[in-house]
Amino acid sequence: MQDSDLIQQFLDDLLVEEGLAENTLEAYRLDLLGLAEFLAQQANSAHSLLTMTPEDLANYMEQLYSRKLTATTVARKMSAIRHYCRHLLVTEQRPDDPTRLLQLPKIRRPLPKTFSEEEVEDLLNAPDQTTELGLRDAAMLELLYATGLRVSELVELTTDSLDEQFGLIRVIGKGNKERLIPVGEVAMERVAHYQQAARPILLAGRTATALFVTARGGAMTRQNFWYLIRRHAVMAGIRKEISPHLLRHSFAVHLLNHDADLRAIQMMLGHADISTTEIYTHISKVRMKQVYQRTHPRA
């Protein structure tokens, strides 16, 4: 079987078994094609993606570093290759995993930035709730902080995503995976108020399945939300660099600061791996140390 066929078989299996997004699958394809091209160019090697050796992979990683790629890029490429090799092992296409003893570069992940609880309060109160757009913005910001949604998930909500009776929201996240997230009373009330008092006026007789709509009656977009969150942050007097993910990060850290269970946060955020969620524990510890040093008389 040719390398291109092996790659396609792997991608097809990933699509079926893990439901990965198209851009993720394309990244895997490019990473594996890069390795296949390297193997084909080696004068003293007749190895393919099916028969490559640990030495082949060590040489490839060395070649990646020689191209002045960052450790993050090398780690990502080698992670894709490791995933592929484990696939070969599980599907019994080869008896061993050539990446088993391979040392991937260690990446120091930067800690996500967050709002303080006071800044969140100021931001959530910034929209002018005497206007239809202000009611919409207040509902979006409140819901984002209450649930830790990704911005893409927030703007893709439909009118039947919320279960008001049980205080839950149904979200379709990465890999088309569904999850249920509890919604607090304040957020639920703001969304309900927006739906009753603002959404019909914004639609002006038009129909839409999107929960959050623009002044023209279309679905809210990530770009529009990015603009409005920055505008409201300025109005709230927040001077730090703003990104839509700041409320998602703040949601996780503030829950940890108030003794929430890490596994529960993982489920609400939709993280496939607990290690992704654990980065928020480091932020919580850093914040605790900063508070101690600032407030203890003998720190």
Residues with catalytic roles = 150, 174, 245, 248, 271, 280
Q: What is the 3-state secondary structure (H, E, C) of 16-81?
A: HHHCCCHHHHHHHHHHHHHHHHHHHHCCCCCCCCCCCCHHHHHHHHHHHHHCCCCHHHHHHHHHHH
Q: What angle do CA 175, 173, 19 make, to 5 degrees?
A: 10
Length of the chain: 299
Signed CA dihedral, 287, 147, 275, 27: sign only: negative
Q: b/e map of 23-33 (b: 16 or more CB within 10 Å)?
A: ebbeebbebbe
Q: b/e map of 228-238 (b: 16 or more CB within 10 Å)?
A: bbeebbeebeb
Distance CA 223, CA 249 (A): 19
- Least Cα distance to 10 among 82, 84, 96 occurs for 84
Q: What angle do CA 28, 83, 30 make, to 5 degrees?
A: 15
Q: Which residues contact 233 (CB under 8 A, 6 or more apart)?
A: 123, 126, 242
Distance CA 254, CA 250 (A): 6
Q: What is the CA radius of gyration of the chain?
A: 24
Q: What is the DSSP letter of 174?
A: G
